[in-house]
Structure 1
Amino acid sequence: MSMAGRIASNRGVNKVVASIFGLWLRFAWLTSRRDADGWDDVARLIDRHGAVIIVCWHQRIMLTPWMFDLKHAPCLSLTSTGHAGRLVGWIHRHFGMGTVPMPKKSSGAGQMRQVLTLLRGGTSIGISPDGPRGPARVAKPTPIQWARASQAPIVVFTYAGSRVWPWQTWDRLHFPLPFGRLALIWRHWDRAIPSRLTPEDAQALAADLGRFMDEVTATADARVGRTTGGDCENAKGPP
């Protein structure tokens, strides 16, 4: 492993970097005007079903520490074991949210059992259905399969900022800047999932979920004055 790789994999380095990111995110949060819409509906779904599956486009994950009220119920985020995934996991832990690292070589069946055990035990799960490497805004059928097996509702979470720094990553990650406006939206993806799910059914439902996520993201963008439906063309850079 290269020196850069060893540094990126170092537990202590990751904790320090995550703390710095966490402090910046808190600063951006506290200095921004915030509009939050939809969490009360999610809380009612949790009370009714025990847990939910929260999905968020990878581009909008920087405010996922605020995607769930941990005073209401437990929630874990699923992260990859790559460098970026580990860093996101440490950021979530900085805010008190646990994570479930998913190794690249883990079996689909093993992953399914672990997630279903958590959902059935009352722990909600957060995941980026287009992560960890894309294609951007193309939802994989994984949350559809979990929802079918667990009967847990799927909830879309997104945020938009009037002042963001778009990173040069595959997803054009939106990094929030302070002294702007933030819109956070939760919406229930209310679709019937058949008990017998063919691969074609799963792909069709995943495509429908992706369209719904785009619609919710466009709504958030509009609330902070963005007009590109989630693209980064009119995002403002660092001050």
Structure 2
Amino acid sequence: MPKSFLEKILFRLAYCFAWFFVHLYRWTCRVEVKGPLLDCLNEDRPVLLTWWHQDMLFNFYFLISFAKRRKIATIVSQSKDGALAAYLIEKFGFTVLRGSSSKGGKEALGLLTDFVIKEKAVGIIVCDGPRPPGRVAKPGIILLARKTGYPIIKIRSWGSRQHLFQKSWCKLALVFPFSRVTVWSDTPMAVSRESRRQELEESRLEVEKRLNEMAAVSEGHFGVDRTASISVKTN
């Protein structure tokens, strides 16, 4: 949360900008959803969602309408950039817990686990980062699935018109207004509470593989130049 007077002003300006974009998306973008995501959200099923950092702007926008009627929680890093992200995400109705794989992650994962179980909430972990390389899954979403017993739905969004911030480690995508956007979602994936280390690693690799497969499909969906995509680490 903002601490200094200047931070408060900057955060409020950022919220005004985000609010404007959210409503512009609502009025101008045509969104198509593929897969089971809408059914799971509309039927209030307990579920976990995960995606790459590259997709997070539009994905969080897409979930705002659902956050108005059911509880959705996520983890945001304790970095300075994370403070702004946490402020904005909370302003749009999400529950935010602070932590990452490099700082406070274990505590934040425990808090998220407890919240998701108690509130039967949707849990979100953006599964690469908070540092490069992009599109390499961290184990947090798998551990959350094992502890909660909730299935994981993997998500990818891609717009017909968007800008990729090439200097950001994740090549963050900003979808332009008046775009067509497709949101892909994968078959819910269960992680057994009895899973051991090797099984957990296999599940992590499966999440990474499927997200990258959806990324490959998405980048050709609107005839977008594939050279705009980031490289994918193979295992």
TM-score tier by shorter-chain length is 0.7 to 0.9
1:3 aligned residue: none
- How much does 1:9 deviate? 8.2
Q: Which residue of 1 aligns with 2:150?
A: 152
**What amino acid is aligned across from residue 42 of structure 1 in structure 2?**
C
Aligned to 2:63: 67
Instruction: Map 1:8-27 to 2 at 5 A.
Output: 10-27=7-24
* Residues 1:93 and 1:230: Cα distance change in structure 2 (over 3 Å): farther
Shift of 1:217: 2.9
Query: C-alpha distance in 1, partners of 2:203/2:169?
Result: 24
Cα deviation, 1:38-74, whole Å, max 9, x if unaligned, reads 3333237743xxx221101000101123136225521
Distance 1:230 1:53 in 2: 29
Counterpart residue type for residue 213 of structure 1: L
Where 1:10 maps in the other structure, the secondary structure is helix
> TM-score, normalised on structure 2?
0.81
Deviations, residues 161-185 of structure 1 (Å, cap 9, x unaligned): 1111111200110011122211122
* Cα distance per residue 1:129-174 (max 9 Å; x no partner): 1021131000011111111111011111221011111112001100
Contact 1:148/1:194 (<8 A) preserved: yes
Partner of 2:32: 35
What's the % identity of the aligned pairs? 18
Superposed, which structure 2 residues align to 1:46-195 within 5 Å? 46-47=44-45, 51-63=46-58, 64-67=60-63, 69-102=66-99, 105-106=103-104, 108=106, 110-121=107-118, 122-167=120-165, 168-193=167-192, 195=194
| Counterpart amino acid of residue 160 in structure 1 | W
C-alpha separation between the residues in 1 aligned to 2:150 and 2:33? 23
Unmatched runs of 5 consecutive residues or more in structure 2: none
For residue 165 of structure 1, give the secondary structure of its aligned residue in structure 2. strand
TM value normalised by structure 1? 0.80
Q: Which amino acid aligns with 1:159?
A: S
Change (3 A) 1:127 1:22: farther
Q: In the alignment, residue 206 of structure 1 is paired with which amino acid?
A: R
Matched residue pairs, number?
A: 224
Task: Point out where structure 1 has 5 or more consecutive residues left out of the alignment.
Answer: 1-5, 234-239
DSSP 3-state at the match of 1:84 = helix
Letter in 2 for 1:66: F
2:72/2:124 contact within 8 Å kept: yes
Equivalent-residue separation in structure 2 for 1:144 and 1:156 (angstroms): 12
